[in-house]
Amino acid sequence: DTDRSRGLGDVYKRQEQYGYQFLDKQQLCTICLYALTTLSARRSELLVEMCEYAFSRGEENSEIVAYLQRYFHGTKEEMLAIFEAGNKGGMYDRIFVESVLKACIADGVDGTEFKVFSTYIQQVQTDTALIDAMLVEYVNFAYEQDQILPEEFYELIGKKIDIGKMDWMYQQLYLDYYKDKKENLSDRCKGRIEKIKDHQVVQTDHVLPVLFQYLDVIKLPKYLCARTFIEFRAKSGQTVIFHFMDGTSAAWKEEVMKELLPGYYVFSASIFDHELNDHYVTIEGEERRYRDQVVVTDHLKYCKGSRFYELNELIRHQQDGKLQMMMEEYAAKTMMVQFIKPMTEE
């Protein structure tokens, strides 16, 4: 054993001079394990490189993985692979996991690293600032890429809402995630949605249209339900204008839309049926008129009894009456023509 150890020691020393790429997987693993035993917890740049090379060739020995978790700093993908290998063996190193998360922040998140984040937030000892930084990354990723993340993410957003963090993006993501789970909402979720509603209705001049999908869970003022909501998506930072035509006077009106979220523009107003005979959106500096991309929704059925609802119904039925009169006049003229034509032909 002494001779073997001496021999392995000589081989290890020669790696720095001649390299280790010519070794097969088993030889490389044997030399790495010898060096790990000899060096104990000390750092060696050569050994880090050899262990990483062995790992990249499929060697997931727990001692090699533990050494890499302690000393290796690579790309996000490399760090995630080392985390996964350690996780399979029940290994957890807080400092390493934090370095992985920092690498994810530097390179940008894409959802593949969420398991690392999930593992971290379940620990007793964590860095709150790091968790917040990761949350910001995931909020931007989920919104910009229109991605659905595990429920743990939305629970973190909910905790921010609990303490009064009412960023528009927090509200949008939270409401958008739970809108299809309304039948099984917990009391905690319902309380947060009520808090979002109160914030939007009382403290701001705008309401996110997705809030109306909770009308069977929460109660909104009738004046809000009387509004027609216009939604449009475009590049952020532009002046977006909504144009709509009054069917009675044929006069066009225009309103500047509000950018509630990056690239998400909204306009809302109490608009009578005849005032929305035609519509389109323009972007300042462009000649194009956008029609198909414009989303128009109303919730009039929820504001029955309001003055606007009654007036809108009155106007609509008046128009129906005029249409009925025109149809009756046309039918009468048709009958007269059919009656007179045979006589004139004779």
Mean pLDDT of the region 164-184: 93
Give the per-residue pLDDT at 8: 44
Distance between CA atoms of 59 and 20, rounded to whole angstroms?
A: 15
Alpha carbon 307 to its chain centroid, in Å, reads 38
pLDDT at 12 over 60: no
Read out DSSP for 292-321? TT-EEEE-GGGGTTSHHHHHHHHHHHHHHH
Give the per-residue pLDDT at 216: 86
pLDDT at 7 over 70: no
Q: Contact, 192 vs 217, CB < 8 A?
A: no
3-state secondary structure of 25: helix
Task: Give the residue from 288, 284, 207 showing the smallest Cα distance to 241.
Answer: 284
pLDDT band at 314 (very low <50, low <70, confident <90, very high): confident
- In the chain, pLDDT over 70 holds for what percent of residues? 84
Give the per-residue pLDDT at 341: 53
Of 119 and 61, the structure prediction assigns the larger pLDDT to 119
Look at 19-23, 187-191, 304-308 and tell me which has the smallest mean pLDDT. Answer: 19-23
Mean pLDDT of the region 260-272: 92
Please report which residue ranges of 145-202 form alpha helices under DSSP H.
151-162, 168-178, 187-198
Element containing residue 268 per DSSP (H, E): strand 264-269
- Cα atoms found within 13 Å of the Cα of residue 101, Cβ hemisphere only: 27
Instruction: Give per-residue pLDDT as tens, 25-79.
Output: 677 777 777 777 776 667 878 888 888 888 888 878 888 899 899 989 888 999 9
